[in-house]
Amino acid sequence: MSDQERNTADQSVGRSGDGPVTPNHSEAGATPTASLDGGATPTVFPDPDAIPRPSNADAAPPQTDDRDSRPSRALAHTDEDDIEADREAHPTRAKRATTGSHSSRSRILVFLAAALALIVLLVAVDAVALIGRIERMDIVPTSLSEVDDSDQTWVIVGSDNRDWIVGDEQIYGSGSTRVADHADIVIVIHKTATGSHTFMVPRDLWVRPTSGEPGRLTMMMARSPNDFAEAMCASLGIPVDHLLMVRMSTFVNIIDAIGGIDVDFPYDTRDEEAKLSVTAGVHRLDGQQALAYVRSRQAEHLIDGEWVPVNRVEGANQSRPSAAAEVLALVMKKVKSVRDPVTLQRLAWAVSGGTVVDSSTSLLEVPALIGEITGKIDVLPVSPNSGKIVALMSDETRDTLARAGYPEGGCRIGA
């Protein structure tokens, strides 16, 4: 090899003045290579697989822009921010919106107040109209001789006055009763501190008022409410603290207002005089039919193929008050179950028409009677020697009255 070629080779191996590269066999992964001149001088290149690499734990975290680590304002933005910004930018608009919301609520409150006032006004007008339809009557004061202040006696009279009948009055029988009020039904309610007791008095019971001629109880009311109250006190020992009279038309309207009553007839029953004809079983009676049943005096039952007078089955002077007691109990039971305000208003309107109350009784006391009439209503017993027209008192009659709180001679007339 010439000197020129050797210089060229030396320049390729090392730079001028640096000297030759000396192999280092102590480094791991050294690979010997032949020298350019075929000698044994090695050249060492590192093995990539033998170079130690840093672990993940020792690795430096990636460099990120500080702006990326801050939360985005767009993501944190809410509707409240928009609303607040809009309020700051447009204060007048926000004020108008708030004012509009308040105005809307105010209009609703004004509407509700007006509706409530209208309802109260209608109720008040209706109440005044109902009160104006009820008549008043004066009666002589009567009271028990020995009684505490909690005792009160209500007497309810069902009148057969046809003055209030709309249409043909003959549908209620051939009799004609105008102007006068006969006591067709007499109901006594005795209220005490321990409870109340309700019973019916036969209308044909023979009584003696303090003045005038004796006669049947039904005719005492035809004379005057005073004569009726005196006869109840003097003959039966029953004071009349409150007197309530209901006419035929009112009775009919009350039952129609509650949708009729269901009456169970054990036999086929008829009464041509009262216009009553029903088969055995439960029947829904309207007001007119119920009145015919209550007023029936000549009713007959079909028993074993034969028409038998009811008076022969139930006893003279007992069939009519027994029917009235049954109907009254059914009416009171159904009235207590009424919750519909429309039906209640219709019922109140029916009661107020053709109803007469004594002057000393408050109208607010009348609805309380509904709660006092409960269970079966008894009929005051009379003498078995009574006839078809006149009922006579007996020892059983007096004993029953005494147990009810009305001893013989225990009622006084006058204040």
Residue range 383-403, pLDDT digits in tens? 877 766 788 899 999 999 999
Res 347: pLDDT:
86
Q: What is the mean pLDDT of residues 244-248?
A: 89
Q: What percent of the chain has pLDDT over 90?
A: 27
CA terminus-to-terminus distance, the chain: 167
**380, pLDDT greater than 70:** yes
Residue range 95-118, pLDDT digits in tens? 555 555 667 777 787 777 777 776
**366, pLDDT greater than 50:** yes
Res 166: pLDDT:
58
Res 285: pLDDT:
95
- pTM score: 0.66
For the domain with range 137-413, which CATH number is right: 3.10.129.10, 1.10.510.10, 3.40.630.190, 3.20.20.70? 3.40.630.190
